């Protein structure tokens, strides 16, 4: 099998993650594996664990699992909760639903609010529900910061304020898989108890690592939690991490890449990273509007900085369209998932990305719309060109 036989030129991997892994990270990962019990590894681990806190905007520990993102969801639940505990979750889309299904499978009771995939979490509804829970049966509130299946971003700080307003002791667990390193996210300032993240989106790494940033309260809750746990257990992780070690074999080469990823984000500056993503998202939406297509997200305040989901006109299949884009233009777009399968496609504009990569992407979308005979107006590409030009650094001079 030939893994390296492709059409000419670079592939445009514009799904909402995994994202285009930059050469700097690929090359860092291409170094020989070292002894994970030796001094060189120890220095690496200490450095990475320190840098990660900056990326999560926290002074508290960030746990790194040698496992892909779904695992960090499980870790967040099994370390804080016990069989039969009630968790309040909000259905923003496919991934929120998967997390709920996981909670059910693990023996928790989950209650699902929301359900309009075009809208963000409603903090008022959460506050109301928590106020009604006078017995404090609800042990945790679980939300997805940026719903990867829909491109809808929720206000995490507002949910924190809602919990506080209700004077409810529930933990706040937040999935930031497609927002960390792309959209402003503040573990400490927003009072999050467990932040769940993965390596393959804003962190620009291949899949294979996932994260739990934890609060003191979350760590305490761990002691009372009775869900069985071993691989995901925070306890030994936290105690060994404190000295730069891991309780079992870590994914060394991915840690090489993670070290580079943190350096890259911090060198660019988190604010600059977030502004870059916001600008590309806006350019994308201007193109979508010029095409006269509909953005799935129904609330402009909730538009996602990392991806845009687009509704196909009635009678047109999103997957047929995506196939045209892949086969003609070497462009991978994200598919619609479950409820919106075939009905939306998604453009990922996150990670190691820039203006010309976005223009290649939007050009591919516009051309594929034409080839697939999807009704649309021309001009999306031109609209994005105009916006990017007028907001380029040189335009400010």
User: Is 324 a residue that touches a second copy (CB under 8 A)?
Assistant: yes
| Cα–Cα distance measured from residue 334 to residue 128, given in angstroms and rounded to the nearest whole number | 35
Minimum CB distance to a second copy, residue 279 (Å):
12
User: Is 336 a residue that touches a second copy (CB under 8 A)?
Assistant: no
Give the contacts of 174 (CB within 8 A, at least 6 positions apart): 142, 143, 144, 145, 156, 192, 194, 195, 196
Stretch near a second copy under the rule CB under 8 A, chosen from 35-43, 113-121, 213-221, 303-311: 35-43
H helix intervals, 269-331: 270-290, 318-329
Give the contacts of 68 (CB within 8 A, at least 6 positions apart): 198, 199, 200, 207, 208, 209, 210
Stretch near a second copy under the rule CB under 8 A, chosen from 101-109, 136-144, 181-189, 303-311: 101-109
User: Is the distance from CB of 226 to CB of 85 less than 8 angstroms?
Assistant: no
Nearer to a second copy, 244 or 298 (CB): 244
Nearer to a second copy, 130 or 196 (CB): 196
User: Which residues share a beta bridge with 311?
Assistant: 294, 344
Nearest to 211 by CA among 251, 244, 171, 184: 251
User: Is the distance from CB of 227 to CB of 233 less than 8 angstroms?
Assistant: no
Nearer to a second copy, 70 or 128 (CB): 70
Nearer to a second copy, 127 or 366 (CB): 366
User: Is 202 a residue that touches a second copy (CB under 8 A)?
Assistant: no
Minimum CB distance to a second copy, residue 283 (Å):
11
User: Is 363 a residue that touches a second copy (CB under 8 A)?
Assistant: yes
Beta strands in 73-170 (DSSP E): 86-91, 109-114, 138-144, 146-147, 152-153
User: Is 353 a residue that touches a second copy (CB under 8 A)?
Assistant: yes
User: Is 44 a residue that touches a second copy (CB under 8 A)?
Assistant: yes
Q: Select from 56, 63, 65, 306 the one that contacts a second copy (CB under 8 A).
A: 65
Nearer to a second copy, 169 or 228 (CB): 228
User: Is 250 a residue that touches a second copy (CB under 8 A)?
Assistant: yes
Minimum CB distance to a second copy, residue 125 (Å):
27
| Cα–Cα distance measured from residue 129 to residue 124, given in angstroms and rounded to the nearest whole number | 9
Q: Select from 114, 181, 202, 208 the one that contacts a second copy (CB under 8 A).
A: 208
Stretch near a second copy under the rule CB under 8 A, chosen from 103-111, 116-124, 136-144, 153-161: 103-111
Q: How many residues does the chain have?
A: 397
User: For residue 227, what are its two tokens?
Assistant: 């869900």
Stretch near a second copy under the rule CB under 8 A, chosen from 63-71, 153-161, 189-197, 211-219: 63-71
Give the pairing of strands 171-175 and 194-198: parallel
User: For residue 220, what are its two tokens?
Assistant: 């305490």
Nearest to 124 by CA among 95, 154, 83, 158: 158
Which of the 8 DSSP states describes residue 339?
G
Q: Select from 59, 167, 249, 315 the one that contacts a second copy (CB under 8 A).
A: 249
User: Is 377 a residue that touches a second copy (CB under 8 A)?
Assistant: no
User: For residue 330, what are its two tokens?
Assistant: 């070497």
Q: Select from 138, 185, 364, 376 the one that contacts a second copy (CB under 8 A).
A: 364
15-34 residues in contact with a second copy (CB under 8 A) are 15, 17-24, 26-34
Nearest to 133 by CA among 166, 173, 171, 109: 166
User: Which residues share a beta bridge with 202?
Assistant: none
H helix intervals, 85-122: 94-105
User: Is 142 a residue that touches a second copy (CB under 8 A)?
Assistant: no
148-187 residues in contact with a second copy (CB under 8 A) are none
Nearer to a second copy, 298 or 379 (CB): 379
217-236 residues in contact with a second copy (CB under 8 A) are 227-231, 233
Give the count of residues interacting with a second copy (CB under 8 A).
Answer: 117
251-280 residues in contact with a second copy (CB under 8 A) are 251-254, 256, 259, 264, 267-268, 273, 276
């Amino acid at each position: 099998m030939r893994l390296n036989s492709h059409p000419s030129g670079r592939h445009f991997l514009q799904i909402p993650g995994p994202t285009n892994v930059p050469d700097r990270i690929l090359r860092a990962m291409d170094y020989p594996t070292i002894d994970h019990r030796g001094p060189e590894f120890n220095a690496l681990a200490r450095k990475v664990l320190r840098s990660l806190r900056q990326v999560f905007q926290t002074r508290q520990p960030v746990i790194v699992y040698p496992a892909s993102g779904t695992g960090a969801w499980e870790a967040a639940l099994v370390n804080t909760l016990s069989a039969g505990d009630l968790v309040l979750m909000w259905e923003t889309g496919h991934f929120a639903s998967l997390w709920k299904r996981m909670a059910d499978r693990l023996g928790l009771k989950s209650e699902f609010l929301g359900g309009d995939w075009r809208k963000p979490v409603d903090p008022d509804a959460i506050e109301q529900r928590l106020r009604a829970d006078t017995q404090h049966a609800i042990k945790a509130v679980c939300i997805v910061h940026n719903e990867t299946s829909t491109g809808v971003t929720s206000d995490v700080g507002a949910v924190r304020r809602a919990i506080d307003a209700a004077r409810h002791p529930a933990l706040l667990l937040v999935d930031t898989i497609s927002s960390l390193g792309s959209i402003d996210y503040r573990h400490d300032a927003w009072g999050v108890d467990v932040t769940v993240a993965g390596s393959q989106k804003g962190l620009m790494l291949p899949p294979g690592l996932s994260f739990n940033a934890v609060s003191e309260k979350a760590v305490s809750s761990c002691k009372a939690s009775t869900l069985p746990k071993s691989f995901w257990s925070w306890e030994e992780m936290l105690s060994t991490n404190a000295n730069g070690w891991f309780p079992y074999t870590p994914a060394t080469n991915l840690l090489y890449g993670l070290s580079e990823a943190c350096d890259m984000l911090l060198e660019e500056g988190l604010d600059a990273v977030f502004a870059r993503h916001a600008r590309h998202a806006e350019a994308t939406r201007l193109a979508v509007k010029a095409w006269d297509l509909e953005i799935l997200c129904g609330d402009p305040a909730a538009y996602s900085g990392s991806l845009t989901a687009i509704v196909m006109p009635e009678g047109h299949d999103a997957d047929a369209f995506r196939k045209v884009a892949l086969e003609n233009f070497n462009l991978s777009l994200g598919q619609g998932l479950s409820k919106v399968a075939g009905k939306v496609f998604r453009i990922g504009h996150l990670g190691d990305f820039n203006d010309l990569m976005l223009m290649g992407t939007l050009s591919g979308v516009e051309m594929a719309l034409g080839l697939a005979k999807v009704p649309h107006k021309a001009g999306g590409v031109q609209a994005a060109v105009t916006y990017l030009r007028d907001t380029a650094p040189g335009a400010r001079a």
